Amino acid sequence: MTSLLDVRELHVTYRAGNGDVPAVRGVDLSLDPGGTLGLAGESGSGKSTVALALLRLLPDTARIDGQVLLEGENVLDMRWGRLRAVRWVGAAIVFQGAMHSLNPVRRIGEQIAEPMVIHGTVPANRIPERVAELLGQVGLPASRTRDYPHQLSGGQRQRIMIAMALACEPRLVIADEATTALDVMIQAQILALLKRLVAEQGIGMLMISHDLSVLAATCDRVAVMYAGRIVEQGPAREVVHEPAHPYASALSAAFPRIGDPASRLAPRGLPGDPPDPSDPPAGCVFRPRCAVAETVCATVDPPLWPVDPDPEGDSARHAACVHVGPARPLTTTRDGGAP
């Protein structure tokens, strides 16, 4: 089965007035149809840059290197016409703050219909039927077609954005902090909806969030990003409940599980700040904030090592930390050269 999405060695660098800022420094991802992958990280981790890079939605100041294979075709090599055809139809994005992205002076029905009209994926006389169908899929009554955005709540507007994203039946949906800023109950409704749609329609979903517990509940696999790199990846529940990388551990602990005595009156945070992307520290980029850093961490930037590998050296889980790597000190730098 051709994988739906295959990202290889993705690098994104922003050209700024006084030098280049590497926002994404070598990311590999893959997703199969019907699969769900969570991408976790905080501000500055590069996760949203990755999402935008997949459909070339970054500004001109961004230089993208690597490959983004969508059903085998490299998005980064596509001609403009082909790229336009792929957006909305091959892959669609639901953004954060989507509730503010709707046009306030056009009715909901028209806005949901827009991608279908522009891409000509549905004959004009079938569009109203398809709009009603989409509203039904996101749990809203067809009567809402004639409403304006201000007549709907934040949660309802987010559902409209999801309906729009599904309008042209994309094979890949990217949800970028799609439930952040929504109440817990609405978030639960939207996540349940996304899970159901993905399962029913065999869509692949890339879900981006700073909340690891949301990703654990919704995705099969999770990749945690820090300073432009993936520092841990693997089956969602394992990464969230038994993280191997110290940063993944801190991120997981940031949102306590209610009822867990270990976090009662004991909030866990991480001192310091994420590194300045234009001036990262030498060696492991997480070292300044790491509670278990070793001397070797100052000089060596660990690659993603398999966690608890099987006899063939494979593992579903990888973490970029010396504590996960082989027992002897690393003798190669990240790109395989001698130290």
Interface residues toward other proteins, by CB under 8 A: 42-43, 153-156, 183-189, 191-192, 210-214, 216-218, 247, 250-251, 253-271, 273-274
Least Cβ distance, residue 219 to other proteins (angstroms): 11
**Which residue lies nearer to other proteins by CB, 111 or 189?**
189
Least Cβ distance, residue 42 to other proteins (angstroms): 4
**Which residue lies nearer to other proteins by CB, 81 or 261?**
261
Least Cβ distance, residue 215 to other proteins (angstroms): 8
205, 209, 213, 219: CA torsion to nearest 10 = 10
Type and span of the H or E element at 130? helix 127-137
Type and span of the H or E element at 8? strand 5-16
Give Dmax over CA atoms of the chain in angstroms.
68
- Identify the three-state secondary structure at position 5: strand
- Residue 121: how many CA atoms within 13 Å on its side-chain side? 20
Least Cβ distance, residue 265 to other proteins (angstroms): 6
CA 266 to chain centre: 29
Least Cβ distance, residue 236 to other proteins (angstroms): 11
Please report, for residues 46, 135, 214, 329, the alpha-carbon distance to residue 99 in angstroms, rounded to integers and kept in the order given.
23, 16, 20, 50
**Which residue lies nearer to other proteins by CB, 75 or 224?**
224
- Identify the three-state secondary structure at position 32: coil
Q: Enumerate the β-bridge partners of residue 68.
A: 7
Least Cβ distance, residue 129 to other proteins (angstroms): 25
**Which residue lies nearer to other proteins by CB, 213 or 333?**
213
**Which residue lies nearer to other proteins by CB, 154 or 309?**
154
Helices (H) and strands (E) in the chain, counts: 9, 12
**Which residue lies nearer to other proteins by CB, 88 or 226?**
226
DSSP string, 189-203: HHHHHHHHHHHHHT-
**Which residue lies nearer to other proteins by CB, 79 or 150?**
150
Single-letter residue type at 213: S
**Which residue lies nearer to other proteins by CB, 7 or 212?**
212
Cα 205 to Cα 202: distance, rounded to the nearest angstrom: 9
Least Cβ distance, residue 325 to other proteins (angstroms): 23
Least Cβ distance, residue 333 to other proteins (angstroms): 27
Least Cβ distance, residue 44 to other proteins (angstroms): 8
Spatial neighbors of 313 by CB under 8 A, at least 6 apart, are 306
Alpha-helical runs (H) found in 202-255? 212-218, 236-241, 246-254
**Which residue lies nearer to other proteins by CB, 13 or 218?**
218
Cα 5 to Cα 205: distance, rounded to the nearest angstrom: 10
